[in-house]
Structure 1
Amino acid sequence: MSHMAAVSGRADAPRPSLDATWARLAKAQVRRRRALGVLVVAALVLLPWIGSAWPEPGWVNQGLEWLGLGLMVAAVLGRCACMLYLGGRKGADLVAEGPYSVSRNPLYVFSILAVLGIGLQTGSLVVGLALALAASLIFRWIVGEEEQLLRVAFGASFDDYCMRVPRFWPKLSLWRSPQHVTVDLEGLWKTVRDALPYFLSVPVFEAIEKAQEAGWVHVYWSLF
């Protein structure tokens, strides 16, 4: 979630309405995890039969894979930066500083970049963009659910925030940050730990490529 930690301590929110929204959001988050799980399973089932149209030793294929690795590293660092501003809050205010001053959902933006990077490990730009688009549709849906909760919790201040800051893609000119932030080390470590599975895509797709080259798996579609 992008701002959920900033809601829990809000004592003056309309409690029945907020509780009902929390319950709806909890169910939506379960569906989000299931949708992402379906996306992962579908990728693991389909991608062994899909190959890159770029030759494996070629600079385009290798460049896409290295670009994907860079995007995954950037996603991990970006998610950690979000936690620097989000994790140390007491839960009574709307987080609108650091990454949250340029995008209302930077955690999801970095997650989409990570999915794009994972897809590029196939050496195919089409595969990377297709996976990123699927993930962005899932996140766009859940953001709508989250915004209902934030609007109930913060009212006009959240509406003003929505008017100033883009929903997803950053507007860097809006950046603002306090000189000091309180860091939640446990939350920061959890963010790193949860993101480490991104890098499993490197050996997984390398193994798939080797299996394709050996003829153990037949490539039915070659995509650029």
Structure 2
Amino acid sequence: MIRKLTLCASVLAFLHGCSVFPNPEARRVMDFSAATVDFRAAEKRPYSLRVDTPYASDPFNGSRILAKPTPWEFRIYEDVRWRDTIPVIVRDLLVQTLRSANAFESVVGETNPVDTDWTLISELSAFHTENGRPTPAIMIELHSQLVANRSREKLCTRTFSVVEISPAGDIEAIVQTFNQAGAAIAGEVAAWAVHCGESADSSDGNRSGQAALR
């Protein structure tokens, strides 16, 4: 059973604080650990990649750690939050993982002003716990596209979904399981992205038109 949750009458009220039960500032700030991924590219692709912050609607664009005990209700874990908004946490994890995978010539976040060949665009549709038996299940879902910046052509599209069961119901175990689920989905994104790069260099021509720039 999910412990220490604050219930709000609706998602909107939940985001702005409940009028009956005020939502105090969280006392604990959580983060993902350093990115670790088993995937390593066999060969670095000759492209630079920008990772945009994933799009997300309420409540996934906030910084609170979310639970969804029923299909129609979100709750938050009391006194704890992520160090930044969930989309920023996911963006930073993707950047770190893609760099560690040695998959591209360079990988930057969207705040970096440098020009790049491709952009990774994503939509975040799940980043929460759900009731598990007997402990919570962590759910992360990310719909991603690789886009060639010069032509704006979509090179590859895929939806990634990961479910990890927490070994316990306390917040430390839940955050650790979020880390494991995040590492798993980031590793899948890295492997997919580098293979998309390989297909763009296939014998029927460079679909993005970026190789001619090099």
TM-score if structure 1 supplies the norm length?
0.30
Name the larger-Rg structure.
1
Higher helix share: 1
Q: Relative CO higher for 1 or 2, CA cutoff 8 Å, sep ≥ 6? A: 1
Task: Return the structure number with greater strand share.
Answer: 2
TM-score by length of 2: 0.31
